[in-house]
Chain A
Amino acid sequence: MIPINRNMNRRRVLRGMLGGAAVTVGLPFLDCFLDTNGVALADGQALPVVYGTWFWGLGLNPGRWEPAKPGKMEALNVELQPLAAHKDKMNVFSGMKAFLDGKPNGVHFSGVQGMLTGTVPRGMTADKPSVDTLIADVIGTRTRFRSLEVCCAGNPSHSQSRRSGAVVNPGEISPAALYTRIFGPEFTDPNAADFKPDPAVLVRRSALTAVADDRQTFMKTLGAADKARLDEYFTSLRGLEQQLELQAQKPAPLAACTVPGKVEESPIGTEIEIVKKNHMLFAGLLAHALACGQTQVVNVAFSDATSSLRRAGGTQTHHEFSHEEPVDAVMGYQPTLAWFFNEIMTQLAFYVTTLDSIKEGDRTLLDRCAIQTATDLGYAKLHGLENMPMLTFGSGNGRLKTGIHVAAQGEPTSRLGLTMQQVMGVPVSSWGTDSMQTSKTITEIVA
């Protein structure tokens, strides 16, 4: 990366630029967009890697999702059947668990925290960043959005993505709003024939320096805990500055990028048909966003961990069924639960199919993705944290082998988060705390 002249005062440069000079005067700031972590975007070679998470609540019915044998998968078990078409591009991980180490089991919480942050918190407050933010800090720093979060069941707090402890990165709940955010007036089509930088964009970029200065003076009077919160504010501010920098620059053309049709407002809620409809709209929008280079990290929360999904006219939610529905004496599992899981897995399949349907050269968008699923429990009825189902989709530009079942009985779920970070280029050899701490990469899937 060409070193940046730290003494350059942006506002001084700005005057010169907008006095009629070419946009390229500002290049020293923009050189870092020549991607050295992967590929130069400009000449259309291998496109950047994508990371994503896809979260659903309440796990699956034990015994009905684990493939028969470890190694290359011949077939999928019944609850993963909706994903059959993607068998060769996915991996299944069975047997892994969350270790409480004597801490209380924060139901619908401890398990997912262990899986996504590597740490099972002591109480019901998370205090570690989630794996997607760690990866976004490496691969997400050169795109308009460092990451995109969506929540399909109508509540932005269902998101499992968090940078620091107290709060999550809120997810979009309205596909129409997401459309406007990504493809609305501030979208720059990479394939557009002409590109005119909007002078207001550079003005805004420069003006934000004053906000950064504010943060610095503000920090001086804060205690350490509050300082950490303002650190996150600063990261967010950098993200905003970056968006503007990118908007000022002509993006490299992307053959697979097409702008989707405008998405209209749709109902939002926890009734499962509504959640499915919104999920499908989100899937399309995210796929287009990825194909158009708007982000490289996407996080989907199908519902909250407790899964308030319900059927119209039904008195009970998915969650209530998980506890109250008896295990059927003949079938050996909870049938209504199986119905909900089937709906959820079918939606997951739709998501993967959507990514797989965007052709990029002789491959597809899915091929450069590494999507990691997450859930909160291994056995919802008893809030069990054993044998938590985990899946990955895509090979991440060839970094992962696929089509494999890894049976890792009794291992911590953090192994997958560690492995994903490593293949994404996060310099980490060990991740997690207490018994969730691991340095054992899942080598079976690393290419």
Chain B
Amino acid sequence: MLHVKKALAVAALTLTVCSTALLAADDNKAGGGPEVTRRLSQEQYRQVVADLFGPSIKVGGRFEPDIRRDGLLAMGASQVSVTASGLEEYDKIARNVAAQVVSEAHRDTLIPCTPANAKQPDDACAGKFLSETGRMLYRRPLTQDELTGRIKVANDAAVGLKDFYSGLGIALATMLESPKFLFRQEIAEPDTEHSGQYRMDAYSKASQLSFFLWNAAPDPELLAAAEKGDLNTQSGLAKQVDRMIASPRVQGGVRAFFTDMLGFDEFETLAKDSMIFPKFNTKVAKDAQEQTLRTITNTLLVEKGDYRDIFTTRETFLSPVLASVYGVPLVAPAGNWAPYTFPDGDPRAGIVSQIAFVALHSHPGRSSPTLRGKAVREVLLCQKVPTPPANVNFTLVQDTKNPQYKTARARLHAHATDATCAGCHKIMDPIGLGLEAFDSGGSLRAAENGETLDTSGELDGMKFTDAAGLAKAVHDDPAAPSCVVTRAASYGLGRLPAKDETDWVKSLQASFKDGGYRFPALLRQIATSPEFYRVGPPQMGALDAPSKLASEEIHK
């Protein structure tokens, strides 16, 4: 691997603090994939602040966009850095949060001591706060240097601003914009169980576990378990895993996973033409996501059901505006959510027919069988659709106002008949055509431009006549449960499983199937697998790679 060779070259020329025996190790043979250093997502940042400082601390400002890699934002997290405008924003957010924490309204509850003189520095009190808070923010105890450094920041700032609390706030803000907070690192240590291999150190394990199950930083109990070495024993690890899965907080983790997998971040920039789809307002977009997430968590966590049932269940939850888009009456308590079951035979079965799927994968002005078929393949079945060739001859797709082409099926006729198009389109369009009963806004319709719709289609040989039939086809497709297993593992790892992790993934898929596709069991199995915590040997770059920027010279 290129970066290992480069690191080796650098290391060979420099003093290292690590044993030379490790220089010979090759990532792959040692087991585990490449290290991933992941930036916190917006939701994770907010969750940390809420967990640490309470829900009354407001987190305002704009976060850097996350990016999607290989189907998940959780994997893009290891590709993103922090741009200049991004750091400007992190700085604003950090100062804002810190100012609230040290404010008169909050200091008594959030700061565990009082300074001797509020107008002057107090290293002892500052140290106590920064040490405890820093441990939770960096997800491990601070080193002596780190603590000393931050106490000094608080001290200098308190002198400069003539106020202990302002000074403390400045120090806290610098921690909230530090890479040690914003990025999750995987610190490797030798694996005592498997000589020659490496595993994450206890704190990295705690983070790995906590972000996976709860989408949050490790809570005090988990950190304490890490400190005691409990996470390095199978029974100690299992105890924490079971605690966390039994907790209501696992709902948040499961919701975060499916929000990522189903691509709900695209809702932020989803546009629907308000003249063509007057019902589709921003509340609909928001509620639609909530509906799908509630359907999923109800099936998987509350009813502890079969994963595949999320594709076929007619039981869901609706808000008043969603009911209006679906065209069904709904009396909800105080205008909130009420359970709703679509009648037997209704085409609205499962999450594929829900607004969050059909409206998300459509154009602003009309539906798109191709986009929907592609989404079923890529999002739900983990099957890659090749990118379209650049030199497509679009003159074949005639004028859409042509009276001959009233429905999407007719307009996409060329996809099916032209040889260059059909190769790829036949793996998408026949699926999406089954969803044509749902317009771009997600409402049920029987006709388009006056012509009755034909919603028949097929998925890999399984034929159906309507969306409920498509739902069953997805339910019965073995790729669906396999896909969610791979996604869950990738989500937790922050990368695609490496080649020598294939057996592990296969065993996860087999257990998932044998156990009746129970999602909590899958979470447990992943979280208790040693594979989940395996990493390559620690990086040997004792010196920084030479930077091109002259300004760094100045800084030193």
Contact = CB atoms under 8 A, between A and B. Distances in A.
Direct contact of A and B (CB under 8 A): yes
Interface of A: 4, 6, 11, 14-15, 18, 104-107, 124, 137, 141, 145-147, 149, 154-157, 163-164, 166-170, 172, 177, 181, 199-200, 202-204, 206-208, 210-240, 243, 269-271, 308, 310, 312-317, 320, 323-327, 381-383
A163 B387 contact: no
A380 to B, nearest CB: 10
Contact of A239 (B84, B161, B542): B84
Interface stretch (B149-157, B343-351, B510-518): B149-157
Given A166-B79, A317-B365, A233 B391 contact: no
B388 interface: yes
The listed residue with most B CB atoms (<10 A of its CB), out of A167, A168, A219, is A167
A313 B276 contact: yes
A310 B365 contact: yes
A325 B399 contact: yes
Q: What size tier do the contact residues of chain B reach?
A: 35 or more
Contacts of A271: 271, 273
A167 B399 contact: no
A3 to B, nearest CB: 10
B81 A382 contact: no
Contacts of A200: 160-161, 166
A231 B395 contact: no
Interface stretch (B102-110, B179-187, B288-296, B299-307): B179-187
A225 B145 CA distance: 27
Contacts of B62: 156, 177
B525 interface: no
22 contacts: A4-B554, A105-B391, A141-B551, A203-B160, A203-B161, A208-B174, A211-B178, A218-B180, A222-B37, A223-B539, A224-B2, A231-B549, A232-B81, A239-B87, A240-B87, A270-B364, A310-B273, A312-B273, A320-B363, A324-B397, A382-B392, A383-B390
Contacts of B538: 221
A308 B161 contact: no
Contacts of B177: 211
A229 B65 CA distance: 15
B171 interface: yes
Interface string B278-290: 0000000000000
A104 B364 contact: no
A203 B157 contact: yes
A221 B83 contact: no
A238 B64 CA distance: 18
Contact of A170 (B86, B150, B152, B271): B86
A15 B541 contact: no
A11 B3 CA distance: 37
Contacts of A106: 387, 390
Contact of A225 (B3, B171, B387): B3
B269 interface: yes
A314 B366 CA distance: 9
A314 B273 CA distance: 7
A383 B388 CA distance: 11
B547 interface: yes
A326 B156 contact: no
A212 B81 contact: no
Contacts of A167: 64-65, 67, 79-81, 83
Given A214-B178, A228-B545, A383-B392, 20 more contacts: A104-B387, A107-B388, A156-B65, A157-B65, A164-B81, A167-B79, A202-B160, A203-B161, A206-B160, A207-B156, A211-B174, A223-B4, A224-B6, A231-B545, A238-B555, A240-B84, A270-B271, A271-B271, A316-B365, A324-B400
Nearest to A105: B390
B156 A14 contact: yes
A212 B549 CA distance: 14
Contacts of A224: 2-3, 6-7, 541, 545
A363 B387 CA distance: 50
Output the residue of B76, B271, B274 with the most chain A CB within 10 A.
B271
B275 interface: yes
B390 A215 contact: no
B153 A210 contact: yes
B275 A313 contact: yes
A237 B87 contact: yes
A19 B34 CA distance: 51
B82 interface: yes
Contacts of A221: 185, 187, 538-539
A224 B187 CA distance: 15
A233 B7 contact: no
A18 B390 CA distance: 63
A166 B364 contact: no
A171 B320 CA distance: 35
Contact of A317 (B81, B91, B159, B363): B363
B503 interface: no
Interface string B80-105: 11111111100100010000000000
Given A167-B83, A211-B174, A15 B554 contact: no
A236 B84 contact: yes
A-B complex: 7 closest residue pairs judged by Cβ atoms: A105-B390, A315-B365, A236-B87, A166-B79, A229-B81, A224-B3, A313-B275
